[in-house]
Structures are given as structure tokens and as C-alpha cells.
Amino acid sequence: MIDEKEILKKVQESIVEALGVDEEEVTPGAVLFDDLGAESLDLLDIVFRLEKIFGIKIPRGGIQQDLDGALTARGAEELKKRMPEVDGERIVEGFRIDDIPVLFTVQTFVNIVKRSLAEKETAH
Amino acid sequence: MSRRAVITGMGVVSPLGIGKEENWQHLLAGTSGISRISRLNVEHLPVKLGAEVKNFNPKQFITDRKALRLSFLNVHLGLAAAKLAVDDAALPLDKIDPTRFGAIIGSGGGGFDDGPGFEDLNEPILRSWDEEEKTFNSAKFGEKGVPVAHPLFLLKALPNNAFYYISLLYNIQGENNNIISSYTGGSQAIGDAFRSIRRGDADVMIAGGYDCLLTPNTLFSLHAMNLLSGQEDPATACRPFDFMRDGMVAGEGAGFVLVEELSHAQNRGAQIYAEIVGYGNVSSAYHIYQPAPGGDGMSRAILRALEDAQLDAAAVGWVSADGIATQESDRAEVCALKTVFGDRLSQIPVSATKSMTGHLGSASGAIESVYAVLALCQGLLPPTINYEHPDPDCALDLVLHQPREKQIAAALSINQGIGGQCTALMFKKYA
């Protein structure tokens, strides 16, 4: 199993490549949309790179699970637990599910990779 | 009173340098921009010489991160030249009506760098290869190729992606076009921009072209058609109108101009370099890659430009020739000039700047337009180098080896491309 530091390093490299940003900007807490100037199509690029590097499959919209509409109060609580790395204050009832990617931080991708690698491990 | 179109800004990135000043210095000095191609390993390629842009750092010109990472070198050259032109025009962007600001851009096609997106397609295609059938297998592509194909490939390969980045940067919301042709795109763009201004569809247009012919696939295919020079010495390889000429030298570059309606330019106190007064655009409809032997097409383009400018042939003080240095094309071009100018041709100086720049594809017509405007402004005609063995079929008053001082009132810039497209642009000294 690759350790988290190694995952972070590769996630950072992928984000630098995909967004053309400087390495120093890509801290674990950096928010992709707000801090690094990403937009949704950049996420495709990042996911593509991570899948190649780690040999994993990240389902598109996996985190939102392709749901439409807005979060319920319970949904918001669930999401906060699921994504402890993002700014919890922004996850409130009524937050649009489509907008979840705007909350993604660099750490979100580290967590996604960790989860995917663990699932891959269990499947074997 | 009909609307007049003037040139108020110029930007060039070519094998002779970055910016119009550096280009002009090297042009007057008769410096060749041709060398052994450094970007590719040419050891086993049939073509070893090319005209590369040197010391180009896209980050000096482009701040848009997407433009930097999702487009190729040819587009970067285009964006840089467009920026140089807009900067040169000192256009007050906040005061320009964006809906009256347009752009027409000529290029050779999609954003291709090392082949048609080779880097992005190599792995998907390799994985889609059917070893038994020795062919690309679409089922394998779906299964094994797609997962490793870059999801943003479309954005890289869009044929108008330079247009997009330029329009975004300058908030260009008006008349526009993206012209894909084999080498006449740059001059067609300037001609069409001139017409847009004159017609009243826009007040300011950015127009020009960009191209890169230095990719393995383009080099191989031009060579296979016997269009490229086989000379070994770079500096003397491109020999327009010389009896010993043996083909083009492929290159890369970009040229852009700001075309502005006269009163619009005057009202903002713009520097006016020259006026565009005529444009001829015709087709020879003769052969897929050979020019019409008698210069038909090219001659009609020139006549059309003169008529458009309401100028007599006698008004033309200098010709910037296409002069690509193949036997057939140069001969056809001289025939066209003879048809139009008759015996007077011997008194009209002609320069073939491709002797120094090489063939810059769809950037050629735009870059040569900039050179023509500089010649008009400075009263200095750039030389033609490498002309040593006169060809009786190409008897011209070539400006040889040294620039020639001559005040001219009007300059003609002509271009012809593979597939029979021909353009002629008439520039007049602004007075």
C-alpha cells in the first residue's frame, strides 16, 4: 500500500500538470476552484491523470452519485462526514449537489485515491 | 464617402526574430532564418533543414493557463504575434465597443505540434492496434484506448482554438472567421478584415495567420510531393527565382495586424502605418498542388486587387513576391506578373523574403504583409538572398542581397497556396 505522503505528492504533481499552477500553491488545503482557478473541465483532466498513475477507476461524479437537486439536512450531515477535508460551513441544507466539486480541496483527491486503492486491494 | 481601412498595429514572430523590429533588422541585413532543425531528431528524416522560431518562450506572451497547456506551439506563436500587434496599436481596450471589434485568423488547421496530437493519441492508438489484422480496431479502442485518451483532447485539437483565446483576451465580440487553407490563410484573413471594415461590419479587426510546418508528418508529406529543397547548406537552401532553386524550406511563425477604420484610428490618435486599398482573392482551379503554369489565378488576383483599389498597374512601386522557390511555382508567379505588368515589369522591384524566412505556411501572407507595410513606411525594400544563377523564365528586377532605398506609394503582396488559392493585397502609403 502506498503511503499517504506518496499519494499526496503524486496528486500535487497531477494538479500542477493539469492546471499549470505553481507547486507551492498546491497545498493539501487548497480549494481547487477558489484557490487554484480550476473549473469543472479541469477535474476531468485531474481524474484522468490520477487514474493513469494509480491504475484505479474513479467513477465520474462518484461523490455526488449523480444526484440532482439540493442537499437535505441529513444529506448535509452525511457529506460533512464523508468529506471532512472541505469547509464544513459551506455544506448546509439546500446546497446544490451539482456544486459539490467547488468545495474540493487537494486533500479531497488524496482521499479519493486512498479509497479507490483500498477498494482495489479488497477486490483482489 | 466610403470607409477606409488602415493598419495601426503589427506583430510578427518568425524565424527572423520576435517582434517587427528584430524581423526588420534581420531582413535588411539579409540574414537567413534557416538552420538544421533542432526540435526533431532529423538523423533519419529525409528533410533536415527548417526555419524555426528561436528563443520563443510562450509564457512571456500568454498568461491564460489553458491557452498554455491546452494548445500547441503553432497556436502559441499565433497568440504571441496577436499580442504584439494589439500592444503595438496601443488599443484602449476599455474604450473599444466589443461588438464592433472583430477577428479573422488564418491557419493550417487544428492545434498540432508533434504530429496530429501524437503525444495524446500515441498510447490510445497503440492499445487499439489489432495485431492479427494489422489495423486500428475500434472495439479495442473503446475498451483499451479510450481510458488512456486525454479527456480534453477536443479542446487541444479545435481548429479555432487560437481564435477563442484571442477573442477571450481582448473581448472580441464582433465579426469573425477562422480560415483554414494551405498557406493563403494569413493573407485571406487580412483581405477579409479589410472588407469587413470597408463594409461597415466592424471598426477594428485583428487579422493574421499562424502555422507550423515543422512536424514529422508535414515534413514527410511535403517531401513526398517533391516540394522541399534538398540543399545541405541552410543559409543558401531557399533560392527563390534562382535557376538552381529546388524547393521550399518549411518553417513556422505568425503574423498579425490591427486593421482599423480610418476615422476610428484618427479619433483615438493611433499611429497609422499604411492603408489597405485593395484585395483580390481567386482560385486557379487547375491542380491539387501545382500552380497553373501560365500564372492564371495569380494574375487575376492581382488584377482584381488593382481594380478594387482603383489603381492603375503603374502605381505599384514594389512587389512582395510569394517566391516559394519551387521551379513551377516561381515560374507561374513570374508569368502572372508579366500578364499584369507587361514590359513595365522590368522596372518594378520585387523581393522574395522567403529566401530568408523559409515558407511559414498560413503565416506567410500575414508576415509578408507586415514586411510590405514596413517597406512602405521606411522607403527601404528588403533584399532577396541566394539569387546567383539567373533563370531566363524568371526575369525580374529582384532587390538582390542588399536593401534598396526607394520611396514607394503602393506595395503589392501576393501569395498562392497548394490547391490553387491565390491572394493579392494592395497597401498604400497613408497620407
ipTM over 0.85: no
Q: How far, in Å, CA of B271 to CA of B126, rounded?
A: 54
3-state class (DSSP) for residue B309 = helix
pLDDT of B1 reads 57
- Where residue A102 sits, what CATH number does that domain have? 1.10.1200.10
Q: Name the stretches of chain B with pLDDT < 70.
A: 1, 109-118
Q: How far, in Å, CA of B182 to CA of B420, rounded?
A: 9
- Cα B396 to Cα B17, B78, B294, B334, B351: the distances in Å are 28, 33, 16, 8, 10
Task: Mutation target for A interface from B70, B155, B165: give the one with most A CBs within 10 A.
Answer: B70
Confidence of residue A34 (pLDDT cuts 50, 70, 90): very high
Q: What are phi and psi of B130, to 5 degrees?
A: -95, 110
pLDDT of B192 reads 98
- The answer to whether the beta carbons of residues B209 and B366 sit under 8 Å apart is yes
Contact residues, chain A to chain B, C-beta under 8 Å: 17-21, 37, 41, 44-45, 48, 51-52
Q: How far is A20 from chain B (nearest CA, A)?
A: 6
Whether A44 and B147 lie within 8 Å, measured CB to CB: no
Q: How far, in Å, CA of A35 to CA of A21, rounded?
A: 10
Domain ranges within chain B, ordered by starting residue: 5-111+158-429, 118-155
Whether B151 and A44 lie within 8 Å, measured CB to CB: yes
CATH number of B5-111+158-429: 3.40.47.10
* Radius of gyration of chain A, Cα coordinates, nearest whole angstrom: 14
pLDDT of A97 reads 87
Contact residues, chain B to chain A, C-beta under 8 Å: 65-66, 68-69, 147-148, 150-152, 155
* Radius of gyration of chain B, Cα coordinates, nearest whole angstrom: 21
What is the span of the domain harbouring residue A70?
A: 4-123
* Average pLDDT value for residue range A61-84: 79
Task: Mutation target for B interface from A17, A48, A60: give the one with most B CBs within 10 A.
Answer: A48
Q: How far, in Å, CA of B369 to CA of B375, rounded?
A: 10
Quote the number of domains for chain A: 1
- Give residue A107's identity as a one-letter amino acid code: Q
pLDDT of B157 reads 82
pLDDT of B118 reads 66
Q: Which residues of B150-181 are buried (b: 16+ CB within 10 A; e: fewer)?
A: bbbeebbbbebbbbbbbbebbebebbbbbbeb
Kindly report the average pLDDT of chain A as a whole number: 90
Counting residues of chain A whose pLDDT is more than 90, the rounded percentage is: 64
